[in-house]
């Protein structure tokens, strides 16, 4: 259940029997089987391609609509002056985004981002023995938007790289009109978007003069992460416009902000515990980068305590577990309907962008400089598998 489906059908130039009644403003619901469009009105369009689960799902929807009609006094109650915006969560819960709800979601996103800012500031105030001298207002001005450009870079470069990585699939569809390899849109999107994140992470390190083999200071990392929450809230403001998929930004931002609050509380307690390291460092010994001799191996200068390292990995896992299934579910829905359409599949990778650009704070904690090469190797492996699949099916 997703309003994106209607938009896709319009983009594909398709129409249904309901089009006869739509010009007369007669409300109605059109329920049809529409996956694997390449078989529509062809000899392959037969009962063998409809499973018992498909029939059950259709019947459940018809029954729900019938019950709703029985509980409605007038069809006027179903009228609307605008296109409906709705989506489901994992096929189980439906969410309708009216104008009021969209504003509520935007305000909630800003509220959670504000909590991140407050927890960041006060965790520094409460747990650091060397308390910052900045007031809350100064802190907000210096931290909230200080790293927006890096998240914008991760989002922009990542989206471009994802579209570029998807070019082989688009070329295949232009030639064959066969959806056999349309599954590659997911790994194409992930690899491309993470390339953008890796680029932004290296840019952040370079601007901060942090050596690739040395972890950034915990406080620097927190400033970057906090800026991600506020940047996500800013982008989420686009939800006030009635357009499909924009709700992915607040979904990802709220999940990111909640996870970040938990991380900050954990970092604050880690700072408050007795340690031979300076409190402000948390996971980095007191080392002046300029004092490191060129001949010294820097790998020993950056050590993340096991508990903090596990907490950061767990935080990333929780964020992706909560935020990523929603866009992935949308991506598979698009693939099932428009998997043989080059135009639809060319744009499909952008669906994962609202989530994956927010992994930037975790990427700046990696070191070694080989992340881009690893992503390229994964990309080649995906297309090697796709090539074998196509040859085997020929």
Residue 295's pLDDT band (cuts 50, 70, 90): very low
CB 128 within 8 A of CB 281: no
Model confidence at 303: pLDDT above 90? no
Determine the Cα angle at 11 with ends 27 and 68, to 5°.
Answer: 25
CB 127 within 8 A of CB 272: yes
Residues 145-200 pLDDT 10s:
778 999 999 999 999 999 999 999 999 999 998 889 999 999 999 999 999 999 99
Model confidence at 228: pLDDT above 80? yes
The DSSP line for 20-41 is: GTGGGT---------S-GGGTT
Mean pLDDT of the chain: 80
Average pLDDT over residues 341-349: 92
Model confidence at 253: pLDDT above 90? yes
Q: Which has the minimum average pLDDT: 248-257, 283-292, 304-313?
A: 283-292
342-373 core/surface letters (b: 16 or more CB in 10 A; e: else): bebbbebbbbbbbbbbbbbbbbbbebeeebee
The DSSP line for 236-267 is: HGGGGS--TTTTHHHHHHHHHHHHHHHHHHHH
CA distance linking residue 206 with residue 200, whole number of Å: 10
CB atoms within 10 A of CB 332: 17
Terminal Cα-to-Cα distance of the chain (whole angstroms): 35
HSE-up of residue 346 (Cα within 13 Å, Cβ side): 10
Residues 11-31 pLDDT 10s:
666 666 777 777 777 777 777
Hey, which residues does 352 pair with through a beta bridge? none
Residue 129's pLDDT band (cuts 50, 70, 90): very low
Identify the three-state secondary structure at position 12.
coil
Model confidence at 137: pLDDT above 60? yes
Helix axes 306-323, 325-338, angle to 10 degrees: 40
95 φ, ψ (degrees, to nearest 5): -130, 125
pLDDT of residue 367: 58
Model confidence at 283: pLDDT above 60? no
pLDDT of residue 143: 74
Most confident option among 134-143, 148-157, 265-274, 331-340: 148-157
CB 328 within 8 A of CB 186: yes
pLDDT of residue 258: 96
pLDDT of residue 115: 94
Q: Which residue has the higher pLDDT, 265 or 25?
A: 265
pLDDT of residue 28: 72
93 φ, ψ (degrees, to nearest 5): -125, 130
CA distance linking residue 372 with residue 195, whole number of Å: 6
CA distance linking residue 297 with residue 214, whole number of Å: 11
Average pLDDT over residues 331-350: 88
- The CA-based diameter of the chain, rounded to the nearest angstrom, is 82
Residues 48-90 pLDDT 10s:
778 888 888 888 888 988 898 888 887 776 666 666 677 776 6
Q: Which long-range contacts (CB under 8 A, 24 or more apart) does 207-213 make?
A: 209/289, 210/289, 211/289, 211/292, 211/298, 212/367, 212/368, 212/369, 213/298, 213/299, 213/301, 213/302, 213/367, 213/368
CA distance linking residue 252 with residue 254, whole number of Å: 6
Residue 357's pLDDT band (cuts 50, 70, 90): very high
Alpha-carbon 55 to chain mean position: 32
pLDDT of residue 360: 95
Model confidence at 366: pLDDT above 90? no
CA distance linking residue 360 with residue 371, whole number of Å: 13
Helix axes 136-143, 218-236, angle to 10 degrees: 80
Model confidence at 259: pLDDT above 90? yes
Closest CA to 162 of 331, 4, 321: 331
DSSP state of 217: P
Most confident option among 276-280, 302-306, 372-376, 387-391: 387-391
pLDDT of residue 306: 65
């Amino acid at each position: 259940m997703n309003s994106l489906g209607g938009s896709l059908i319009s983009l594909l130039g398709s129409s249904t029997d309901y089009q006869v009644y739509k010009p007369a403003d007669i409300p109605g619901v059109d329920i049809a089987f529409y996956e694997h469009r390449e078989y529509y009105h062809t000899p392959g369009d037969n009962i063998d391609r409809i499973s018992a689960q498909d029939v059950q799902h259709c019947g459940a929807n018809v029954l729900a609509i019938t019950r709703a009609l029985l509980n409605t006094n007038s069809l006027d109650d179903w009228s609307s002056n605008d296109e409906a915006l709705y989506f489901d969560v994992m096929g189980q819960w439906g969410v309708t985004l009216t104008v009021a709800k969209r504003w509520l979601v935007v305000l909630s996103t800003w509220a959670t981002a504000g909590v991140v800012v407050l927890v960041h500031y006060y965790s520094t105030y409460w747990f650091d023995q060397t308390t910052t001298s900045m007031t809350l207002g100064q802190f907000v001005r210096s931290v909230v938007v200080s790293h927006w450009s890096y998240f914008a870079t991760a989002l922009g470069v990542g989206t471009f790289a994802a579209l570029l990585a998807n070019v082989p699939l688009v070329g295949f569809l232009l030639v064959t009109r066969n959806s056999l390899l349309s599954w590659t849109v997911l790994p194409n999107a992930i690899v491309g978007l993470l390339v953008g994140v890796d680029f932004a992470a290296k840019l952040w390190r370079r601007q901060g003069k942090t050596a690739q083999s040395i972890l950034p200071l915990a406080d620097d990392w927190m400033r970057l992460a906090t800026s991600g929450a506020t940047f996500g809230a800013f982008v989420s403001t686009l939800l006030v416009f009635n357009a499909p998929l924009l709700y992915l930004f607040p979904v990802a931002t709220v999940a990111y902000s909640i996870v970040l609050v938990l991380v900050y509380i954990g970092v604050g307690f880690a700072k408050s515990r007795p340690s031979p390291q300076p409190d402000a460092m948390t996971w980095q010994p007191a080392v002046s980068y300029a004092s490191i001799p060129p001949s010294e191996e820097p790998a020993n200068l950056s050590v993340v305590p096991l508990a903090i390292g596990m907490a950061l990995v767990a935080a990333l896992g929780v964020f992706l577990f909560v935020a990523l299934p929603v866009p992935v579910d949308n991506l598979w829905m698009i693939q099932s309907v428009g998997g043989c359409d080059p135009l639809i599949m060319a744009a499909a990778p952008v669906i994962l962008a609202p989530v994956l650009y927010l992994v930037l704070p975790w990427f700046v904690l990696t070191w070694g400089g080989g992340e881009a090469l690893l992503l390229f190797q994964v990309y080649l492996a995906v297309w090697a598998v796709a090539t074998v699949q196509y040859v085997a099916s020929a």
